[in-house]
Amino acid sequence: MVSISRDEWGVPHVFASTIRDLYWGFGFALAEDRLFQIDMARRAFTGRVSEVLGRGYLGHDQAVRANYDPASIQAQLDALPPADRDVFAGYAAGFNARLAEVLAARATLLPRDYTHYAFEPVPFTDADVAMLWIGSLANRFSDTNSELVNLALRDELVEMHGALKARAIFDQLKWRNDPLAPTTIPEADRPAGQIPRSFPHRDPKPLSLAARARVLREASLRQRGLLPDAAPMASNVWVLGPSRTAEGSTMLLNGPQFGWFNPSYVWGVGLHMPGWDVVGNTPYGYPALLFGTNGHIAWGSTAGPGKVVDLYQEELDPADPHRYRHAGAWHTMARRTETIAVRGEADVAIEVFATLHGHVVLFDAAQHTAYAKRRSWAGREVESLLGWIGLMHAHTPEEFLGHCERIAISVNFYYADQAGNIGYALMGRYPQRPDTQDIRLPAAGDGSMEWQGFHPFAWNPKILNPAQGFVANWNNKVSADHDNTDTFIWGAADRVSEIIDILAGDARLGADAMWDIVNRTSFPDLNARSLIPLLLAAAAGHPATTLLQDWDRRGDGPARALFQTLLPLLVRAVFGRDLPAREVEAYAATHPPADPPPLQSPNINPGVKALVNILGGPRPGVPATHDFLAGRTPAEVMRAAIEAAWASLVASQGDNPAAWRAPPAPRTRFRATDFMGIPMTTPDAAPEIASFMNRGTENNLVIFGAGGVTFDDVTPPGQSGFVAPDGTASPHAADQIRLYEAFGRKRQHLTPAEVAANAASTRHFTP
């Protein structure tokens, strides 16, 4: 027997006595709310969009098919014991039961989206269930790599300056370890020790011009979230222990920044079996709740910064581009054929090649090279998901970490419990690399840079009950000994300081003050914290001083107008002589555009972080290997930029600074596509709110108090994505937008008694 009760916000609570039945109810309830979204998500993550939407999505499907091995996923599922297999089988069966119910009553139950796009849903499989998680979490949040983009930049610098000067510039832009970068684990708890301050020197073969153009073109698409391995570097969290809260309790607040989409990126649910209750929310209906509580513990997550993916530069046989040299011998690449169905056209076949390191992501025929992607978590995708499912049953830090050890992908995890413990740990399976490998650039594929094993889980950075009484993260450096990678660049300027400064105060926070941090950190100009003190020192006597020194870094008034005009000028003045124009303009994109891309989460970009280092003067940990100022002093450069910005505003807005205004802030638009541009509903269903907020796609707050545990959240636009064939939307399709806009929150229910007391409807099923 399965029961599904829904509360006033439409959140379902599934009651069952077996795992299979529990997930049957999970799948059924999810299909009631999000049938079209989840159907399109499984197509997006398995490369089957063209089958229903046509040739326009063929490029997407080709990229996805080449980026994972379906046979490996199926083999992992087939090897599971029955208890674990029941999760996937039950979920698929429940989803398909609702699908059958819908198809039997198309006139009232088939979502309007299917009529708009003129196709119908087909049943789910166990592998489809797994791919929801693998495609959007493992293959999005733990599969990013910037080594080819870095190689393209290095090649451009060599062309501009020669090898020696290029190396100096590259090293100053992409330093190894800044001791002033704020960390999630306090340095007192995990000191840096005697770590190297520079990367080893090596010169991989350059890209051909054609390959470089492709790499940069695809990188541009990734930045807009239109390729499956777009680099996500967003989400924040703060966790307080008893010494930091007004009630002497533990509290955890998470703001995962997935982007804003309709239907909501996340879905709320409660799961209940005899002796076990859990409530929370999760993206795309994963069978594991990414954010939740079981009454004993609470957990949350942010994007993991650990390096779990390397690219290998393979030397190819000039006589056969599918043979590569390794350990002194030629080897033939593995090959498989993927057949992609295209609506209204003949099928399209693609070939996917792999070396012993992994699948090939780029052939550079002119250079007789190829680049293969090696993932430390390959073959452990399903096991990682099961680890996340298992931790929902933990009661103690030790039990929690026992399940976390199974998770091979890179994820930051946060923890609080009713016993007063708080903690943090970096998940993932991390290779032991040779000292000769420069992790910013592709490794040599000839056998000289092979991994030398894997670090044990004990090596992973983690902390339980730090002396400071809190844990905070906004995708910042995790510990003092954690180096920058090919993708993540951490420095003294970091947005996490917005959170740390609040938490480090003397006040003990209550629930409302804890939640209000969301508001307080959503609007400041993140660049200004580090740069304004430098600008004020350089601009003594200039009228800009008055504007900037009293600015609270919010609003659209004269100070913001001046700063937003000034900063791009300053970036161009410092980097314009020495970097390729495209890199300069990327660094000069210092503030969100009027229509931010779907993955936009305002941050301090790497160029501005480097700018702060340069203008602040050389210091240990950040090499001053090149004079970007061309003999000028930092004060001279800043003063000139201030004067240029001032003159620009006078020319464009008049000579009364009090009347100056920055461009209007972007709006928050809940896009009708997913983060890769795949439709999740009809194009007209993209609601907006006026103010752009640098906050979570959803926010959730767990508090362990004397009266038990509470879980509050807000998951806009709403719980449901259902629009009936006649165009009538579910009452829960957008009922959380105004709550979100006003920084409100709603209560979730954990215990069966709470669920029963707040049930708006209940259905009973016999699977």
Catalytic residues: 235
CA distance 245 to 81: 43
Residue 178's identity, in one-letter code, is: D
- Nearest alpha carbon to residue 296 among 418, 422, 424: 418
**What is the 3-class SS of 390-425, one letter each residue?**
HHCCCCCHHHHHHHHCCCCCCEEEEEEECCCCEEEE
In a 3-state reduction of DSSP, which class is residue 253? Answer: strand
CA dist 672 → 133, 386, 675 (Å): 20, 30, 10
**CA–CA separation, 498 vs 492, rounded Å?**
13
Closest CA to 39 of 683, 722, 561, 737: 722
Tokens describing residue 433: 């690399």
In angstroms, the CA 136 to CA 138 distance is: 6
Give the residue among 540, 558, 527 at the shortest CA–CA distance from 649: 558
DSSP type of residue 627: -
Helix (H, G, I), strand (E, B) or coil at 46: helix
Query: Do residues 325 and 345 make contact, with C-beta atoms less than 8 angstroms apart?
Result: no
Written as six digits, the tokens of 71 are 């046979």
Question: Can you name the residues that pair with 470 across neighbouring β-strands?
Answer: 240
Could you tell me if 472 and 463 are in contact, meaning their C-beta atoms sit under 8 angstroms apart?
no
Q: Are 722 and 267 in contact (CB under 8 A)?
A: no
The helix/strand/coil state of 252 is strand
Buried b (16+ CB within 10 A) or exposed e, 492-506: bbbbbbbbbebbeee
> Which are the contacts of 359, defined by CB distance < 8 A and separation ≥ 6?
66, 67, 69, 352, 353, 372, 373
